[in-house]
Structure 1
Amino acid sequence: MQQRNSGNRRPSGTDGSDFSYRMVVDNRYTKVANGKSSLSKILIIQAVVLFVGVLDMLFTLLTKQPYDTLAVASTSITFISIIIGELGRKRSKANLLKLYVAASTIGVLGSIVAVFLSNIQLKVFNDPSIWETEKITLLKIACVSLGLFVQIFSAATTISLIGNMSPPKRAS
């Protein structure tokens, strides 16, 4: 067969009937590409939610209120997990993606525990008249709730991606 020329001309020596012999991309590679794209978007959303949480912590420090060490630690863990997740996504490393899922889950659960231990949600939800003065508290609750929601999608997407990245099982 002759080399293909530029354009849409068919090379000489073929009539197009060799289509069934051409290579086809395996479906799992397409799923991996789609999963990586979805994970990239989820990581961006997770980083934005984390940034809002950091802004909330900065407002707390500016008002000279004591900061919650558990919230700071869980925010740090979540930040590091986002970096690990991005590295695992770019390099297609299943071990880094597994570490990302574990670390980000620990970070989000730590944030949830920090909110529950501070009892701020009870104070705010029991007395709606203080909502105006407790905007930062409402922001913290909304940020943690959104973080949990994003974490659920993140874990599902990452676990699916890891499953598609694994080599296929051979039938015995």
Structure 2
Amino acid sequence: MRIALVSLAAVAAVAAATPALANEVRVEARGGVIWDGSDSEATVGGAIGYDYDLAPGLFVGVQGSADKILTDNTRVSWGAGGRIGIEPRDGTKVYALADWQSKNCKYCNSAVGVGGGVQQDVGSRYYVKAEYQHLLVGDNTPDADRGLVGVGVKF
């Protein structure tokens, strides 16, 4: 028992002495345009996520989102996914992303989004970002594309 307690205390001391990485929670508001081959509409939403540093200059993150197309007969589309990227310089993140999104209307299909983006810090807690996604809808429904810009805060 004493060996286990001493071992646990040693692990805690090493963990406390290790410099903290920039793991962070982020919350953002975003808006943009969604389009398919024949139509385009404005969209607004928000997201919450957590980024975890894998190594200096490399990160992975998870994210949940809620987005609404600003037209009649649509509803909030809920999303869950992740991103992986690099930090080519302090305060800048470049990433690839993938997520699943629920139906945005009663008779629509859910979609899988793939894309990428750039996030730039503004000060120590705030950031701006630009993102592109190609939405793979399926069931003979045309795919769509979405461009987003956002502002957020990190904790």
Give the TM-score range, shorter chain: under 0.3
Q: Which has the higher helix share?
A: 1
Q: Which one scores higher on RCO, CA 8 angstroms, separation ≥ 6? A: 1
Q: Of the two, which has the highest radius of gyration?
A: 1
- TM-score when normalising by structure 1: 0.22
- TM-score when normalising by structure 2: 0.23
